[in-house]
Structure 1
Amino acid sequence: MIGNQAQKLEELVASNSNNKSKKTRFIAITSGKGGVGKSTISSNLAYVLSQSGLNVGIFDADIGLANLDVMFNVKIKKNILHVLKGEATVSDILIPITRNLILIPGESGDEILKYSDMALFERFMEEAQVLDKLDVMIIDTGAGIGEHIQMFLNAADDVIVVTVPDPAAITDAYATIKTIATLREDVSMIMNQVKSQKEADGVFGKIKKVAMANIGSNLNLDLIGKINSDAKVSTSVKQRALFCAEHSSSQPYKDIEAIASKISSKLERNMLVKANESGLSGLFKRLIEHF
């Protein structure tokens, strides 16, 4: 039933792909366990990317624990599930954060397609074209390795695993990487709340050594960046403010900026592609392929 529905939806997406637009790079940010700063990093990274002039969307795909509204200090009334159920339009749920940054409140997992009958999904795909000009979409997934999380990790261009230098967090991060390695060969990491680059390199080195020995040499595991521990970060979170907006001279800001710079260098900017490779409709096209 789901397979047949997915095939019909895929054909529908293809029929809506004549328009040309930018190709959106989808970046999934995940973690082995909660409390390592994943959503804080996602929101601040999206903000810094938007400040560089890129058009950025951030999709809250943390089922049951969506909290990007808290990070951005905004109120959410409806999310993407309401759109699929016909209770709202895409434009209704979009929340502008800055001139180049849009928050997309979302649900993930099987519920996305549960309400996707052909008529509703066709309207959704047409409305979703409002986001086809996005350069990058950050997907803030839930922690762990659940099936609905794997779906987003498989659909993304880049997957970034966040961890902190804590034994339990490192163990969970490795378990996450091991699962992701069954889906793809390339995984990046961010070492959060470290004292220095040396500590970040040391922790990453240990994880990579174990991964190479147990997962295999086909895995391309790299350290995309680190973020220094700083009380300003936790203070900003408590105040529902982005630390990158409040403390632009801090080391964590410089660390996020360095990560953003690496991501920007990967973007195929100004490249025109079919609309089914861009924006929110492009993401759903990829998700549908896994049903």
Structure 2
Amino acid sequence: MHKSNRAKKTRFIAVTSGKGGVGKSTISSNLAYILASAGVKVGIFDADIGLANLDVMLNVSVKKNILHLLKGEARLEDILIRVMENLVLIPGESGEEILNYSDSAIFAQFMKEAEVLNDLDVLIIDTGAGISKNTQLFLQAADDVIIVTVPDPAAITDAYATVKVAARERNDMWMLLNQVANEQEALSIFERIQRVALANIRDDLDLQFLGKINADQKVSNAVKRRALFAQTYPASIPSSDIRAIARELVKKLERQVYVKPKESGLAGLMKRLKEQF
């Protein structure tokens, strides 16, 4: 990626789903790995409030997480975990105590120290599944939204519901089909959702097909081993699929808009989020 004299702007990509169990966190972590391997500076924020699990997927040890930051027991730089070169994790909290902080206090606390992350090219926000208020805030504030679903009737229905909620605040979002037999199946499902959404939600909806990931036992094997499938099975079809998705995102990265310095980085995201309250 070419450096320019413009203000640095971190690209915020929210990855979400209508229901759990569709591989959202697996996709987030493998996408982060592929981008980082290609030299992109990536942060991945485990924003699945109460159900955080990216530390397990990335096989790293967490001593302090987002809850410690909110309680004033750690600074943002203290909780960052360097997973590999070009990749840092902002660990979430999997307990119930963090639910007490599910309001503007979370974002206000972030904003105090957010400049620590301003040198990132991309921040992937792994949101919770469903359409909770917290998830909606991230979908509104992100530059890009990726909705993950699988070829299951319930998951497809929930993905449509997510599109409907997100469309209240934005008209652009991407859809990724996971665990499909082939690209034909993925496109068939996507086109059905797109057609219904354009007819019933808003006719200016810019819902785009981002890509697909084939169903493959190697993916679940990697998850069980607390490993990334893109790293463990680089020659597999799912790894080829996630690389193709990463290439699409890099194209978007290269078309970033100019921003004022004070709006750059995580501080810019948190400012946008706080404005939602």
Q: Does 1:111 align with 2:102?
A: yes
- Cα pair distance change 1:223/1:272, threshold 3 Å: closer
* Aligned equivalent of 1:213: 199
* Aligned equivalent of 2:3: none
Offset at residue 128 of structure 1 (A) = 2.7
Structure-1 separation of matches of 2:49 and 2:103: 11
What one-letter code is carried by the residue in structure 2 that aligns with 1:237?
V
2:218 to 232, 236, 242: 232
- Cα pair distance change 1:195/1:70, threshold 3 Å: same
Deviations 1:168-196 (A, max 9, x none): 11111111111111111011100000011
- Cα pair distance change 1:130/1:99, threshold 3 Å: same
Structure-1 separation of matches of 2:206 and 2:82: 35
- Cα pair distance change 1:130/1:256, threshold 3 Å: same
Structure-1 separation of matches of 2:189 and 2:257: 37
Unaligned stretches of 5+ in structure 1? Answer: 1-19
Query: Mean alpha-carbon deviation: is it higher for 38-47 or for 80-89?
Result: 80-89
Q: Give matches, 1:83-94, under 5 Å.
A: 83-94=69-80
- SS of structure 1 residue aligned to 2:128: strand
Structure-2 separation of matches of 1:266 and 1:228: 23
2:171 to 185, 207, 214: 185
What one-letter code is carried by the residue in structure 2 that aligns with 1:46?
A
Q: Does 1:203 align with 2:189?
A: yes
Contact 1:25 1:157 in 2 (8 A): yes
Structure-2 separation of matches of 1:270 and 1:222: 18
Contact 1:155 1:287 in 2 (8 A): yes
Deviations 1:24-83 (A, max 9, x none): 010000000000000000000011011111100000000111010111011222222322
Structure-1 separation of matches of 2:63 and 2:102: 18
What one-letter code is carried by the residue in structure 2 that aligns with 1:207?
I
- Cα pair distance change 1:171/1:116, threshold 3 Å: closer
Structure-1 separation of matches of 2:139 and 2:246: 19
Structure-2 separation of matches of 1:168 and 1:273: 40
* Aligned equivalent of 2:245: 259
Aligned residues: CA RMSD: 2.1
Tell me how many residue pairs correspond in the alignment. 267
Deviations 1:136-177 (A, max 9, x none): 100000000011110000000011100000111111111111
What one-letter code is carried by the residue in structure 2 that aligns with 1:27?
I
Unaligned stretches of 5+ in structure 2? Answer: 1-5
Offset at residue 216 of structure 1 (A) = 2.3
2:127 to 122, 141, 145: 141
Query: Mean alpha-carbon deviation: is it higher for 212-221 or for 75-84?
Result: 75-84
Q: Does 1:28 align with 2:19?
A: no
Offset at residue 116 of structure 1 (A) = 7.4
Seq. identity, %: 62
1:41 to 27, 32, 45: 27
Q: Give matches, 1:75-86, under 5 Å.
A: 75-86=61-72
TM-score by length of 1: 0.86
